[in-house]
Amino acid sequence: MTDQLLYATETALNGLMTGVMYSLVALGFVLIYKSSGVFNYAQGVLALFAALTLVGIQKGQVPFAHLINAMTGGHLESFPWQVPALLAILLTAGVMVIMAIIIEKLVLKHLVNQAPIILFMATIGLAYFLEGFGDVMWGADIKTLDVGLPQGINETIETVTGDLFGYGFFIDNLDLVATLVAVLLVTALTIFSQYSKQGRALRAVADDHQAALSVGISLRFIWILVWSIAGFVALVAGIMWGSKSGVQFSLSLIALKALPVLMLGGFTSIPGAIVGGLIIGMGEKLFEFWIGPLIGGATENWFAYVLALIFLVFRPQGLFGEKIIERV
C-alpha cells in the first residue's frame, strides 16, 4: 500500500471511532423523540451534568460548596473521602433517575397533548437551567475524569499494522472501548424497543398521547422510564467524552454534532444513530484529509452540516427513519 493510502486508512478508522462518540450522544435524542415526538435540546446538557455529578461524587466534592462558602464565609471543599469509580457511576445513575422523576413531575406532566414546539421550547429552558444548576452545584472549573478506562495508543494494533504494512496505525484505546459500549447499548436498546411491552408502549405514546392514555398506558411512567434511560445514555456519553477531553461546559455543545447524525440516521432509529455517526465521523475526517489542504482546512467544523443538508433535500426522513404520510 502507498503511504498516502495508509494514512487515509488510518484517518478513516479514527473517523469511525469519532463517529461512535457522536452516536452515543445521538442515542439519547432518539430515545426521547421515540417517546414524545420531540427533539430534546437538553440531551447534551444531560451528558455534561452527568459527567459533572460523577466527578463530584467520585472526588467527594461538597455540592453547592461555592454557594455555601459565599453565604457563610466558610471554606468547604470536599469530604474527607473519595468514592470508588464503579460506586460513583451507580450513584450518578441514581441521580439521573431522580432527575427524570423531577422533570416529569415539574415539566412534562403539565404538557400532555401540547404541540411539539411547546415541548421543544420546554427542553430548551431545561437545558439552560441544568447548565446553570450544574455550575452552581459543582463549580465551573475544568475537571479531569478517570474511571479506569484504558487510554493511549493501542500497542497491539500499532504493532500488527506495522508488521503488515510497515506503518503502525494510531488507534486510541478509549475509542475502542467506546465502540464496544456503543454496540452493547444499541443491541440492548433495540431489543428493548422492539420486543418489550414497555418498548411498544413507548412507540404508542409517541404516536398519540391521548390514544395511549385511553388504552391504559401510563404516560407518566413511560416518560420517567425513557428520560431515565436517556439519562443513563447521557452518563455513558459523558464518561467517554469527559475521559477524552475533560469535563467542561463546552461538553454540552456535542449535542450540535449529534444533529447531523440524527438527520442521516433518522430521528426514530436506534441503529440509525450509530450508522449516521459512523458516516459523519469517517466522512469529516476523510474530507479534511483529502480536500481540507486544498481549501484552507477547518472543514470538520461544517462538513457534517452540509452533508445533513443534502440528506434533508433528498431523503428528509434519514436512512432508517420512518416516512410520515399525512392524509388531509
Confidence of residue 326 (pLDDT cuts 50, 70, 90): low
Confidence of residue 109 (pLDDT cuts 50, 70, 90): confident
What are the pLDDT digits (tens) for 216-262?
Answer: 778 788 888 889 999 999 999 999 989 988 888 888 888 788 889 99
Question: What does each C-alpha distance from 187 to 38, 105, 184, 194 come to in angstroms?
Answer: 23, 30, 5, 11
Q: Report the C-alpha gap between 13 and 267 in whole angstroms.
A: 25
- Region at 266 (left for phi over 0; alpha for psi -120 to 50; beta for the rest): left
Residue 96 confidence (pLDDT) above 90: yes
Q: Report the C-alpha gap between 40 and 22 in whole angstroms.
A: 16
| Rounded percentage of the chain residues whose pLDDT exceeds 70 | 96
Confidence of residue 324 (pLDDT cuts 50, 70, 90): low
pTM for this structure?
Answer: 0.88
Residue 3 confidence (pLDDT) above 80: no
What cell was used for 126? 431545561
pLDDT score, position 231: 92
> Mean pLDDT lowest for which of 71-75, 82-86, 157-161, 302-306?
71-75
pLDDT score, position 1: 57
> Mean pLDDT lowest for which of 68-72, 112-116, 263-267?
112-116
Residue 153 confidence (pLDDT) above 60: yes
Confidence of residue 327 (pLDDT cuts 50, 70, 90): low
Confidence of residue 4 (pLDDT cuts 50, 70, 90): confident
What are the pLDDT digits (tens) for 175-213?
Answer: 899 889 888 888 888 888 888 888 888 777 766 667 777
pLDDT score, position 325: 56
Q: Report the C-alpha gap between 239 and 227 in whole angstroms.
A: 18
* Annotated domain spans of the chain: 3-253
Average pLDDT over residues 75-101: 90
pLDDT score, position 323: 64
Q: Report the C-alpha gap between 21 and 178 in whole angstroms.
A: 7
Count of C-beta atoms within a 10 Å radius of residue 258? 27
